Structure 1
Amino acid sequence: MVRKIFLAAGIAAFSLTAAACNTVKGVGQDIESVGEAGDEAI
């Protein structure tokens, strides 16, 4: 029973980590585009 709980928690953590990588990458691109727009404005 405990082993199944740890397995499920591990799978959930892996899934969230994989999703977070894509999210962080997208946020980084957004910040970069804002910085470039600020440079052009100045």
Structure 2
Amino acid sequence: MNTRLTSVVLLMAGLLSLGACANTVRGVGADVGNTVDAGEAAAADIAY
């Protein structure tokens, strides 16, 4: 019983950490996208 509980807890902790990593990667991707958009807008302002 104790081994099964430990396995379930470790599995849940692993899934939680994977979910956190995926959320971070999506957040970084959104930040990079926003930075690119801001850079393009700034370049367009300077060009005109």
Q: TM-score range by the shorter chain?
A: 0.7 to 0.9
Q: TM (normalized to structure 1)?
A: 0.73
Q: Secondary structure at the match of 1:33?
A: helix
Q: Provide the identity percentage.
A: 21
Using the size of structure 2 for normalisation, the TM-score is 0.67
1:7 is the counterpart of 2:11: yes
- 2:43 corresponding residue in structure 1: 39
Larger radius of gyration: 2
Give the CA RMSD over aligned residues.
Answer: 1.4
5+ residue gaps, structure 1, are none
* Uncovered stretches (5+) of structure 2, i.e. residues with no partner: none
